[in-house]
Chain A
Amino acid sequence: MSIILDGETRVLVQGATGAEARRLIPTMQDYGTNIVAGVSPGKGGERVCGVSVYSTVAAALREHEADLSVLFIPARYSRDAALEAIDSGVPAVNVLAEGIPHHDACEVLTRAKEAGTLVIGPNSQGMMSPGKAKVGGTGGEVPDLMFTPGPVGVVSRSGGMGAELSMALTRAGIGQSTYIAIGGDLLVGADFVEILGRFEKDPETECVVMFGEPGTAREDQAAEFIASGGFTKPVVAMIPGEFMENMETPATQSHTGALIERGVGAPSRKKRLLREAGVHVAERFTEIVPLVRKALGKS
């Protein structure tokens, strides 16, 4: 098993006729991703890499069933495309674009919550269930350089670091069950808690590596979730950025910033809370693989 995505998952590609999608669709298909249809406004009837294209999500859904829509859509049009998928009843949406306006992201996440739609992203590099399927940019043309099937769930706010630490695991002979890039923006849909909850139920996942970042309470919530028994498998975490805590940054220059954060968001606090919850926190990147090995009982 994997979470959210496997070889059976029926994937819709929005923005299918764009340059990025044309380049990525073949790599996803080669890897085993079950792409059922594409959507591009005004391009209904075209075909991309053997995939039928429809002008709207609703039109595509009249001919196909879809479990997940992945958005190869520029930032400024992502709100509309995501809302189209949500309104059409697609159960999960992966928003890839970086730089989506915050107000747009907020609207999308609010509407998704109402509709019960799972949103991964925005600013997500995609998802990968090694040996089964991949969506988005993750793995790109060289998936085997980074990923191999195995027992470790990987979840990261940073797409680059998720790929980098998956590569380190793969080089050490440790495979992954699923990798999810939850997105690097201030406002994202699925957070660590959501993903941990799914990894908990996945019998193939024996251990999770989570990569956090400064800012927001996402890691604090994960710590609380783990401490309260929501996630019972071993977790290895890394959160860089403690060295910046005393540096002058724009966030410290308004009362509002200080009031909304009130100490939350600092890597030192996140690491402390995670440690208190029993998480193995790596201070350095090269500590991750040995910690995972130990967690898997393969020291």
Chain B
Amino acid sequence: MSRLLENDSLDLMAASGVPVPGYRVAASPTEAAAALEELRGKAVIKALVPTGKRGKAGAVSFVSSTEKAESEAARILSLTVRHFPVRRLLVMEALDICREFFLSITFDPTHKSPVILFSPSGGVDIEELVAERPDQLFELPVDITRGLEAYRCIDFAERAGLEPAAALQCGRAIHGLYRMFREHDCRMVEVNPLAELADGKITSGSGVVVLDEQALFRHPDLEKKLGEEQGNGWRPLTKLELVIREIDAINPHASAIRFNELDGDIGFMVSGGGYGLSSLEQLTREGGRPACTFDITPGPFEEKMYRTVKALLGKPGLRGLVLSANVSNFARVDLRVAGIVRALKELDLDYKKFPVVVRYTGPGTEKARELMAEVPDVEWHEGEFTLEDLTRRIVDRAYERNGGEAE
């Protein structure tokens, strides 16, 4: 997930004509107090972290005095919100809200089109509300090749139950938001609440923009904004994940690595999306505790395999390593294995005591088998050994179950 921070999201929204309130970014209590003054003395301070549900984490606070702004800013800056330490704050003009709507745009994989979701009853409990009253969620699928005219947005808002004046403003906001969704290759955009103020004006109470990682090559400016604060989508990167990112960066266009560290004790380098997921499910059924997930796309991967194995085996508390991939069409198994063999030789562990179970098949299997034979006591398997054999074997050996010593 590539979720922009809220200030960057609001910048994009404003540039596309979506109404947004005044806001500033602050990195200290003093800056927060100064921002409050510029925003006419009433503001909401929010943690600037790439994750949602900040309100429920106590990281959103209304302030209307310098003292309160400073103390609340200091408090929120000391928080960690859903694993993300708070480093900066968004100070946003407080709104005199009389009605809250919900607005978002995403892709609907069933209709294979963008879809606009709108509810005349927005707010933090939107999911519960829609579960109880599904008729309060309105959907507008968009033909991406024809685009979306403003009149259709206004009509949509009226059909969702808004009076003409509110529907006009909401329709314009929807129109602007859809333009932004298209121009910046967004995966998802969300405004919750889209707020109607006491004076009848409509503005955005918040802004979430999730970019399409697969389209970042078209948006180098936005890619820069993402930075490393993103983490892996639900928490900041661990030290080991940062090391693996560096390994991946040695040749970013060949053999891309996906790696997530987990808190288990079996090094789990089983690649191939469906194969990796099936193996991971089977490993957990067997009682195995994975220390990571790993995937690598085919390419010249010897060096990346070598460095990743070395880095992973530096993780404390590991009890074994399993290496595999689904049957390969082209990617040479011996290239993968050459990197693994180099790492295992250099590490020079006692592989009777630290089990390493390997299963590959595809072009180059014979050469791979010969290479692996150079490392004593590593278990080598080929196509007849299923993912279930593989996961059972590593669990038996790592946890010494069923007499799981080396054969």
State the A residues within 8 Å of B (CB). 23-24, 75-76, 98-104, 106-107, 109-111, 113-114, 125, 137-142, 145-146, 156-164, 167-168, 171, 184, 186-187, 211, 213-218, 221, 238, 240-243, 248-250, 253-260, 262, 284-286
Contact = CB atoms under 8 A, between A and B. Distances in A.
Contacts of B188: 254, 256-257
B177 to A, nearest CB: 12
Nearest to A248: B234
Contacts of A138: 329
A98 B297 contact: yes
Interface stretch (B12-20, B242-250, B268-276, B372-380): B268-276
Given A145-B327, A248-B234, A249-B234, A242 B281 contact: yes
B327 A164 contact: yes
A146 B329 CA distance: 9
Given A168-B386, A171-B383, A259-B127, A102 B272 contact: no
Interface in B317-340: 325-330
Nearest to A284: B388
Interface stretch (B22-30, B35-43, B214-222): B214-222
B284 interface: yes
Given A240-B281, A259-B117, A103 B274 contact: no
Nearest to B329: A140
B95 to A, nearest CB: 19
A254 B54 CA distance: 11
Q: In the complex, which range does the number of interface residues on chain B fall in?
A: 35 or more
A156 to B, nearest CB: 7
24 contacts: A75-B214, A103-B185, A107-B144, A113-B112, A137-B330, A138-B329, A140-B362, A145-B327, A145-B362, A160-B274, A161-B272, A167-B327, A167-B383, A184-B274, A187-B112, A211-B274, A217-B110, A240-B277, A240-B281, A253-B1, A253-B51, A254-B188, A255-B127, A285-B387
Given A187-B107, A250-B233, A164 B326 contact: yes
Given A159-B274, A240-B278, A243-B285, 6 more contacts: A102-B185, A163-B329, A164-B326, A217-B110, A253-B1, A253-B51
B281 A241 contact: yes
Contact of B130 (A137, A213, A259): A259
Contacts of B327: 145-146, 160, 163-164, 167
A271 to B, nearest CB: 12
Contacts of A186: 107, 109
Nearest to B295: A160
Nearest to A146: B327
Interface in B216-236: 217-218, 233-234
A241 B277 contact: yes
A260 B52 CA distance: 17
A19 to B, nearest CB: 11
A243 B282 CA distance: 9
Contacts of A75: 214
Given A75-B214, A106-B113, A145-B361, A256 B106 contact: yes
B112 A213 contact: no
Interface in B116-147: 117, 126-127, 130-131, 137, 143-145
Interface SS of B by simple majority: mixed
Nearest to A211: B274
B352 interface: no
A143 to B, nearest CB: 9
Contact of B218 (A101, A106, A114, A262): A101
A286 B281 contact: no
A162 B274 CA distance: 9
Given A102-B187, A250-B234, A254-B190, A142 B214 contact: no
Contacts of A257: 106, 188
B114 interface: yes
B52 A253 contact: yes
B400 interface: no
B361 A102 contact: no
B385 to A, nearest CB: 11
Interface string B255-290: 000000000000000001111011011101100000
A84 B204 CA distance: 41
A157 B278 CA distance: 13
A265 to B, nearest CB: 9
B401 to A, nearest CB: 18
B128 to A, nearest CB: 10
B31 to A, nearest CB: 28
A146 B330 CA distance: 13
B73 interface: no
A75 B212 CA distance: 13
Contact of A213 (B182, B214, B277, B362): B277
